[in-house]
Every structure is written in C-alpha cells, then in structure tokens.
Structure 1
C-alpha cells in the first residue's frame, strides 16, 4: 500500500535533537534493491528472553560482520519490539503510544491483527547479504523464537509497486524526516525511537488489470506513467492519496514508508509489504481508519477492493543505544 501522506516540515524547535543518547537505528536508509521483513514470536521456554536480549544487543556487530563481505551493498537492519514482550525484553517503561495493533473493521473490508513480538527489517542492495544476515540471525536466536512470517521484498523498476504506480512519493526528506519518524522530548525516555506498523497486502491483479488506466489513477490519486498528483475530490469518493493525507490545525503529518513489492509469478501471488515508521502512532492509525471505514464513513479506499491485508502488527524500534544496551 502506498499510504501517501505529505510530510509536515516542523519548526526547528520541534525537530527531535540528535544527541549521543537518542540516535535512531538506520530507519532513514535510502530504498534498497532487496529487503527481508521477518516477524517472530518469542517462546515461553526458560531462557528465551535472555537469548533474545543478547541477540538484539549484538545486532550492530552482526551487521558489520556480514556487511564486510560487500561494503557497497550497504546492509542495515532495524529491530523492533512488540508490546507483548516489551517489559520482559527491555525492562523499561513502555513508549507512550505502544499497544497491540487494533483491527479496523469497515462495512466491506477489515484490517486484521496478527501475532508478532519482534520485527527485523533487513535491507541491502544485494539479496545475498540479506540472506546471510537472516541466516546468522535465526541461528543465534535458535529455539527461542518462532517464525510467524518471512517476506522477501525486491525493488521493482523505478520504485513502483506491482500495481504499476510509484510508491512512497510523499516520504519526508531533509529535516522533515526525523520530525516525522523520530520520537522527541514528548517521550524523553524513548527519544530516538520510532513506532512501526507492518501490514502484508496481497493484490488481485486480475481485478486491477480489468480497470482502465483512468480508473486506476482515480483510485490512487496520481497519474500512472509520470506520477503526477491529481486534484483531491471536493466531495464524495476520495482517492488513496487523499485518504492517507492526515491534516489538522498543526498542518500535515508525515510518515516514512519503506514498502516493498513481493510475490511469486508461479504461485500467482502479488503483493506489497507496507512498513510505516512514525513519530506518532496515531497518524498511521488515522490513515487506516480513513481507508477501511471511509471519509465520510461508507466510502472506503477503493484500493482495498483489489488489495487485501493479511497481517497487522505494531512495534517500537528503540534508539540504537537502547538496543545495544539489551546485551549488557
């Protein structure tokens, strides 16, 4: 899903400060050619939490170990933790907005909640580095975890989704990027962290291709070939772009989308893995409400008629320092 929303370029005083105590993980890494989205649950067996803490604390070292094989591939991994295990894994108070994914039930479509305690977002410009990192990561975690979902993403042409549209156009840049994604002094204990929403969407390509290009563009709110933004509908059915633009008296609220296409032509599976990083979890939750329930209610996002969510999770990616401290 594109989940478009224009960034709000906050005043300088509102942009989270970058200090040694709150530096983020590699959330702002540019789009890569390959990615792995790995969702795990933690076993209830004795010792599982200790193993997970040790592995999380060593993520940076593991990245360096694998990345050394091809420094040009720019391997990174962002590790995030769900609310069910937050207390046990971190020993810290919970981030202010962290909670389980709340299902969104519309008249026609539903965004489901699914299991997941840990999310590893692995990215590189070389698929073999993603594979090797995941192999060593799972070997280290062993029987302390169970794999809930593994999705292998790839870059499709000029950053398009499998529906043929450019994805992530409205991602924030410059100073708007940390302002949109990085928790600041509103929750000082968790400054430098980011809320993460993950959803795996599967597309009905037959239904989508039955639409004309003009109909597809009306659904998305952008032209297909040259990615030009179309005017918002003044009333009635709104486009995907418009429904995912969150605006209030403070302006427009942006998020960072690290979406990736995935699929298998042989299996007839075509999809988009939506991954949204945000400073304010409520912004993405508002987007989902508008998509599935509609604005006004009853006029849901028509993209959902061909794109079905199979998973739904909320995580928090703590700062790099907090993550490293878990192995102490």
Structure 2
C-alpha cells in the first residue's frame, strides 16, 4: 500500500476528449450579513490548506495582507497528499489540533455523509459546529476582501476596489480557465489534442500578460489587487513544478522578462514570499506523482536566491 496518491487521481474529472474538467465546489454558501449567508465573526472559522496548492495559497496571502491572522485560524496539511487525502501529519500526533482530524476527508464526512467528491483545499470549517462551510476557492478571497472588511487591519490594501470589480471579475475568469487551471488542463490531459490545446492557450495568455506588464507595475496599475494574487500563485509554481511535471515547457518563467520581474516584485512583498514554501511545492507536485517518479527523486533546484534579485519594477509606478 503506497502512502502517496497519484497525480492521476483526478481521472473521473476527464471527459471523453481526454480533457480535464475540474469538479465543482460543493460548499459555496457566501459569507455576509444577509439571511442564509455565513455569519462574519472573529474566531469562528479555521482555514485548512496545503502549501503546494495555488487555490489555497491565494486565500492565505489575502489573509496575511489584510491582517486576518487573528480572525481566521490556519491549519496546514502535508504537501504530499496520501491515498486517504490531505493529511495533518505536520501537527503533533498527526492530527489538526483544533479539529482533531488526521485526514481532510474526515471533516467532509462529518459534514455530509453522502459527499463523494474530492476533499479539497482551501476548506473553511466552522469550529463551533466542526463542519465544512465553504470550499469555494474561486470566491473565497473576495469574501475575505469584502465580507470581512470590518476585521481588516488599519491601512490594509484595497485588493478588490469597487470601481474595478467588474474588470477584475472578467479578468479573473479568463485567468482561471486559461492560466491558473490551464496548467492543470495540460498536465492532466489524457490525449495529445487536449494537451496541446491547453498548452497553446496557456502560452498565448502568458504572452499577453508579458506585454501587459511591460507598461504597468501590477495588473491594474500601481496597486496590488486580487488578480495579482491569483496570477502570482501560478507563476511562483511554474519553474519549480509546472514546467516539467505538467509539460508546459515552451518557456520557463525566467524566460519572460516582465513576468519574471513582476513575480519577484510580489515575492519580495510581505504576504507573498513569506507564505511561499518552494520545498513543499516541489514535494507536492514531484513526489505526489507516483506514476512518473517511481523512485521519489526530488529535484534540487531552482535556486530560491534568484527570487531575491532586484526586479526594478518601481520605475513603472506612475508619479502622483
């Protein structure tokens, strides 16, 4: 019995054309003050994540940037998913100290005995009821940015400014399908046609972003927004994992001058680099893929020091 799970576990999410179609989120009740919404309270929720996961990483970045660390607690699973699901083996006695679970699927079963999908991160659990209340990774950062605003730290950045929300939402939709999930569409493809379609779309978008970031420090001007966080989590995993494991090997991130400097700029911003664990990212993608890495050899590079080199992006900031 192996203690790892193949990256091909998502087989049931493959359509007849060999294309990867990510499962829909089961727990998507929004946070808010309206009837039927999840109450916004400090200390009520626990965010479960694994450092490998880009969807979870972006929620952790937002939590850090907005000063919500004392409002929403954090539980961290091992980056290598086991055959029983995400495991809290990093904690003492191998269980989450707040929820007292060893594997993430346990809390899903406690919430809904009939749930048959993958237990995913990020997962938000109500610590009072010990049940999953939200695993909607696509909207979770927006809830933290808007619904939890009363708990934001003083002078917290406005990551989801009202006057840009329509533009940000439209951009994020394309970013998700073609870039964030695009690398997975290529990596999990079960036909050459599906792989090449995802590959071509991915690099077409990256070329567009390379051009866009040649004249703007961030995606929407001089201030970091929700979209920058969503792009960052894919870029920071690109050379360490996606380039080789998912065969998206036309260019490395460092071959895109603007994207590379942009990614370094964000990495060197508090909330980004200090929540990025390259060792966990490599282990999760490289050691989790049993079928193509039978001897569990972990790549030594890339050099993390490169991410601390000058990025010179300040010159793109417009003077007020």
Q: Report the TM-score when normalising by structure 1.
A: 0.23
Structure (1/2) with the larger strand percentage: 1
Select the structure with the greater relative contact order (CA < 8 A; seq sep ≥ 6).
1
Structure in which a larger fraction of residues adopt helix: 2
